[in-house]
Amino acid sequence: MFHSIRFKLIASLIAVSLLVGLISILVGGNRLYQSVLDEAHNRIRQDLNVARVIYDDRVDTIRMAMETIASTTTLSQAAMVADPSSVPPSVNALANRIHLDFLGITDMAGQVFFRAGNPAPENRVISENPLVRWVVERNQPIAGTVVLSDAQLRAEDPELAVQARSTMHASPLVPGSSDGLTIGAAVPIVADGRRVGVLYGGCLLNGDTAIVDKIGETVFKNEIYKGRHVGTATIFHNDLRVATSVKDAAGNRALGTHASPEVARRVLGEGKRWTDRAMVLADWYITAYEPLADIAGNRAGMLYVGVLENKYADIRNKAIAMFAGITLAGVLFAIVLSWLLTGRIMRPVSYLIRASAEISSGNLHPNIGPISSDDIGQLQKKFMVMVEALQERERMQRKESETRLIQSEKQASVGKLAAGVAHEINNPLTAVLTFTHLILRRTDLPEDVRDDLAVVAAQTERVRGIVKSLLDFSRQTELTPTAMDVNVLVEDSIRLMENQALIKGIDLVFKPDPTLPILVLDRNQCQSVLINMILNAFDAMAAGGRIEITTRNAGEGPKGGVEISIADTGSGILPDHLDKLFDPFFTTKPVGKGTGLGLAVSAGIIQRHGGVITVKSKPGSGATFTIWLPHRPQDGGQELPEVQS
């Protein structure tokens, strides 16, 4: 079954569809995934830009608030006198509205006289806040990212220091690590055309959720994938997560954890953007990082956005699954298709196989099914031609063997008859011969009686001759084969007949084929056949005739043999006689000139050698007898049943 054409065809179709499917899965799946990833990388870069805009927007908001407040006259008057009590309450209200964590006012030297978050008088010192220092030293407004030390935070508002430290729970306390990352703005306060102080304010980013959640909301639309936010955003102070929407395993914001060293080195160390997959806590994210610089231009932290890689991996897995499904469907389709197809192709072939088997077992009329219109149809037609040729050959062989059988049966029955008749006749014939001769011995017979008696004796001799040839005919059973050269056999036979040919004035010619192989034949019997043929030819011709004997090698192999042809220029044979020519007792010779057994005996001898005698003739233009003898006699030839007396 595994070697059947059907199986092979099905297997190859399956193999092809599997191959195509697998290649599609590997190449297509990866290409698709790659382009999705590329797209994701592009997206995340843009997302980072948006995040940056949101971040800067927040800074801008603070700056605008500071400028607005600073431009009010009540504030500039308060600044002029550096009196905290004259600072209008609307300042605090505004600070609360835009969620400022700290807000303060200093004089032009940076001496703080108002702190919203820490109004204690002992805190009225020279402010070390970089924002304030910037305005004091350069007399210009400033807004941006600023790192405030623990002391500065405490000075602004003790709560801020607590909040900042609370975001560092997971990290060891290293110098500077208790600093807070802030954004803020500071503007000069102008009264009557001169600068009278500095207004500053800002937000602590440590623990802040406003920016990162706004990024999540704006950029990622708070998309949830498998219970988790797809998009995350983080603000790093150095490599420490101080504000983030990344959640740890317990579902808490992953504050106080660190960025991977690789990212920190590239972004903080080299000041470059990072856009690649990165491990964030326990998951792979497609991420983008960029450095955050403080107002002095120093890299103070990083801004991060990232999307869960899982989402894209799942897209890939879905695509692969889809490809696999398509492949499987293709394979199933291939199986069904090839099953049907091979069925169509193989049906006539199966018929042919069955038909061949039937022919082998002897049925020459097999059913080969409907003739198909394709190439197989050609095969079927050729097969039919072959079958017809076989039928024809079978018919011919049957006819031939029937003819042979009839011939043999004829000879056998005649042989038996001859044996019986001969035996019964010979006893009385002995008496006739004896007494005729005894009477002939007498000297007192009248001459006419003697003459008559001589006729009796002669005719009795004739009967004896007939009976003898009958016996010879019935007795021809055993062959004594010896190896011989057929040409020599023919030459010997011709030599025996040369005198008679000379007397009759007949030309006897022999044309031997020198390439004849040695055959194994009964010399005497074969010679008698040849002599019989030559004698028959003599009888068919007047003086001046010609007998041409030729030998020829007729073919090779199991069907090969040697042909001896005896062609005469005699009277020929009537078509009516051709069929009866080899029948015992058939003769065209005048009474007393032939017994009609010569050709029958000859045919029997040649048959027993496995050969055959054929004859061709046209009346008036001679006859050609051809003796065919096989190179190797098959099964000892056609045995005549042995005749016993």
Partner 1 sequence: MRVLIVDDDAIVIRSCRRVLEAEGMDVHTASTVEKGEEMLADGDFDLMLTDIKMPGRDGFEMIARARRIRPGLPILMMSGYSTAGTIADGRRLGADHFIAKPFTPDELLQAVRHTIAQVDEPR
Residues lying near partner 1 in the complex (CB under 8 A): 419, 422-435, 437-438, 441, 460, 464, 471, 475, 478, 645
- Other beta carbons less than 10 A from residue 86's beta carbon: 14
Task: Specify the residue, 209 or 434, whose C-beta has the smaller distance to partner 1.
Answer: 434
Q: Give Cα separations from 171 to 72, 166, 598 (angstroms).
A: 44, 10, 133
Task: Specify the residue, 299 or 475, whose C-beta has the smaller distance to partner 1.
Answer: 475
Task: Specify the residue, 31 or 437, whose C-beta has the smaller distance to partner 1.
Answer: 437
CB of 441 to partner 1, least distance (A): 8
3-class SS at 558?
helix
Token pair recorded at residue 427: 């006893």
Query: What is d(CA 132, CA 266) in angstroms, rounded to the nearest whole number?
Result: 32
3-class SS at 308?
strand
Token pair recorded at residue 588: 């065209």
CB of 451 to partner 1, least distance (A): 18
CB of 560 to partner 1, least distance (A): 33
Transcribe 494-531 into DSSP letters: HHHHHHHHHHHT-EEEEE--TTPPPEEEEHHHHHHHHH
CB of 514 to partner 1, least distance (A): 36
Task: Specify the residue, 278 or 419, whose C-beta has the smaller distance to partner 1.
Answer: 419
Task: Specify the residue, 567 or 643, whose C-beta has the smaller distance to partner 1.
Answer: 643
Query: What is d(CA 453, CA 448) in angstroms, rounded to the nearest whole number?
Result: 9
- Other beta carbons less than 10 A from residue 336's beta carbon: 12
Task: Specify the residue, 468 or 511, whose C-beta has the smaller distance to partner 1.
Answer: 468
Q: Which of 518, 598, 514 is nearest to 552 (CA)?
A: 514
Task: Specify the residue, 428 or 544, whose C-beta has the smaller distance to partner 1.
Answer: 428
Query: What is d(CA 52, CA 473) in angstroms, rounded to the nearest whole number?
Result: 130
3-class SS at 181?
strand
CB of 426 to partner 1, least distance (A): 3
Task: Specify the residue, 10 or 422, whose C-beta has the smaller distance to partner 1.
Answer: 422
Task: Specify the residue, 192 or 478, whose C-beta has the smaller distance to partner 1.
Answer: 478
What's the distance, Cα to Cα, between the start and end of the chain in Å?
65
Task: Specify the residue, 252 or 645, whose C-beta has the smaller distance to partner 1.
Answer: 645
Q: DSSP character for 127? A: -
CB of 415 to partner 1, least distance (A): 12
| Greatest CA separation for the chain | 211
CB of 570 to partner 1, least distance (A): 35
CB of 641 to partner 1, least distance (A): 14
CB of 418 to partner 1, least distance (A): 9
Buried-exposed string 350-364: b where 16+ CB fall within 10 A, e elsewhere? ebbeebeebbeeeee
3-class SS at 242?
strand
Cβ neighbours of residue 549 closer than 8 Å, sequence gap 6 or more? 490, 494, 508, 509, 510, 511, 534, 564, 565, 566, 567
Task: Specify the residue, 49 or 426, whose C-beta has the smaller distance to partner 1.
Answer: 426
CB of 479 to partner 1, least distance (A): 13
Task: Specify the residue, 298 or 430, whose C-beta has the smaller distance to partner 1.
Answer: 430
Query: What is d(CA 370, CA 344) in angstroms, rounded to the nearest whole number?
Result: 12
Q: DSSP character for 372? A: P
CB of 399 to partner 1, least distance (A): 34
CB of 445 to partner 1, least distance (A): 16
| Sheet (strand 612-617) strand order | 507-511, 546-554, 561-568, 623-630, 612-617
3-class SS at 605?
helix
